[in-house]
Structure 1
Amino acid sequence: MSDLLEFGKTILKNQPFSALLGTELDVFEPGNAVLTLQVREELKQQHGFVHGGVVSYLADNALTYAGGSVLGDSVTSEYKINYLRPAIGEKLVARATVLSSGKNQAVCQCSVFVLGEGGERTVAVAQGTINKVEPKSGS
């Protein structure tokens, strides 16, 4: 396993919300990130599919991981998500890539899929701007 992937997994373990949901980091390499999440009843809404907030969280985190892979410590500045169909299945997979990056900012794209009996289906697409976190100066 690469040092970058190990580093990314350590960061994920230190995100209380990600740990609560059980998110896993499968790929973390320059320009790419893949996060996965097992679908559980607690993550569904009243119609029986995964809550949009969970899908959005996974896309947001994958976008930030992709951007962070080229920028270093980063946060999401903004993002937009389009839901394409209900997330019904066993596992969510968010695959994010860097479209363009500079010294302090990256624009990234993410597709969120659900895996189930019917194979892999795209449930959402997102695009966002990721900004490098500047170290705090002496306090």
Structure 2
Amino acid sequence: MEQSSDALAQLRAINAAAAFNRWCGIEVVAAEPGSATIAMPWRAEAGQYSGFLHAGLVGALIDTACGFAAVTLVGRVLASHYSVNCLRPAVGERFVARAKVVKPGKNQVFTSCELFAHSGGSEKLVATGETLLLVVATGTEA
């Protein structure tokens, strides 16, 4: 499937505006309607006591990728619920989250994601997750 330059530009602009994403070093790698791929390099300050990527950041990568996938179809969203399944320690030089919209709706969007650790040219699945996102109407105040 051909990558949508509009979706990629849109997500890169959103990503650049998010201070947390900048702190993490998250980059938008690919985007098309209904899917998004983001990546983050390993950073020691993102690790937990055993040297693995902290589970909080595992969740953040899954939540962010899912939200970005949803944005490509419905615009602004807000996480209502998300779940993460940690399958193995997240150890690698780079982490890549690939998310897709499972079912878009007028008020809510269901998404899923797989998170991979890249190290020495290999890729290992380290976590999966799902999110339920609420569509935020334009002009809605928090």
Cα RMSD, aligned residues only:
1.5
Unmatched runs of 5 consecutive residues or more in structure 2: none
Paired residue total: 138
Identical aligned pairs, as a percentage?
36
Does 2:45 correspond to 1:42?
Answer: yes
State whether structure 2 residue 31 is matched by structure 1 residue 28.
yes
Quote the residue 2:108 is aligned against: 105
Report 1:1-139 matches (<5 A): 2-117=5-120, 119-136=122-139
Deviation (angstroms), 1:74: 1.1
Residue 60 of structure 1 aligns to a residue whose secondary structure is: helix
Alpha-carbon offset, residue 137 of structure 1: 6.4
Deviation, 1:68, is 1.2
Which segment drifts farther, 69-78 or 85-94?
69-78
| Distance (Å, rounded) in 1 between the aligned partners of 2:72 and 2:130 | 16
TM-score by length of 2: 0.92
TM-score norm. by structure 1 comes to: 0.94
Deviations 1:72-117 (A, max 9, x none): 1111111110100001110000000111111222100000000002
Give the conservation status (yes or no) of the 8 Å contact 1:71–1:104. Answer: no
Distance 1:131 1:28 in 2: 20
